[in-house]
Amino acid sequence: YLAWSPDDHYLLALGPEESSEFWLWDIHSGTLKTKSCHSNDDSLIACAWHKDGKKFIAGGTRGQFYQIDLNGTVIDSWEGVRVMCLAYKNDGKTVLAADTHHRIRGYNFEDLTDFNILKEDHSIMSFVCDESGRLALINIENQGVHLWDLEDRILLRKFQGITQGLYTIHSCFGGVDQ
């Protein structure tokens, strides 16, 4: 999995299939800034950048979930969360995580609280939020794409067509105003 920093200065790369390592590349200099592994038991499959570009989150399906700085140091962690996909909310302190229980939950790193946002009937394979942070496109295993309003916590629309199979589909918002 790859994720660009908000200013496109860094490229974060997670290893192949359930690897415990990540690599952070400085694109301007073309050098590897850091390569790190918190635990050999990790299986990092998802990551996302904070809007300030100075930290990111990474997690996986074995119950680990970390907030990490640019030097590869773990700032905070949340145990027991089996993550499929991650995103930061626009408030800069809450992380959204799709877990293996078909939910998207919020995790606030400032006051260490967590809360349910939505639950699907099938596995959430990936999701993306729009620029406002209010809407989310969620790829559901064998179901298509669902558009959710995260603030009102309602399903707005279901899109059918290509469904998840062997490979994970990552949707995106697009257009002038998204």
CA 85 vs. chain centroid, Å, equals 4
What residues have CB less than 8 Å from 101, skipping those under 6 apart? 82, 119
Share of the chain above pLDDT 90, in %: 63
pLDDT surpassing 90 at residue 108: yes
Measure Cα distances from 116 to 5, 44, 129, 149 in Å: 27, 22, 16, 14
**Is-contact 134 151, C-beta < 8 A?**
yes
| Token pair for 50 | 């904070």
Residue 90 DSSP class: T
Contact between 152 and 110 (Cβ < 8 Å):
no
Look at residue 146 and tell me whether its pLDDT is greater than 70: yes
Among all chains, which residue has been given the structure tokens 């640019």? 70
User: Which has the higher per-residue pLDDT, 125 or 178?
Assistant: 125
Residues above pLDDT 70, as percent of the chain: 96
> What's the pLDDT at 100?
92
What average pLDDT does range 54-66 have in this prediction? Answer: 90
pLDDT of 11 higher than 80: yes
Q: Tell me: the pLDDT tens digits for 29-46? A: 999 999 987 777 778 889
Q: What is the pLDDT of residue 165?
A: 67
- Domain annotation for the chain: domains and CATH numbers: 2-119 (2.130.10.10), 123-178 (no CATH)
Q: What's the whole-number average pLDDT of the chain?
A: 90
Segment 71-92 shows an average pLDDT of 91
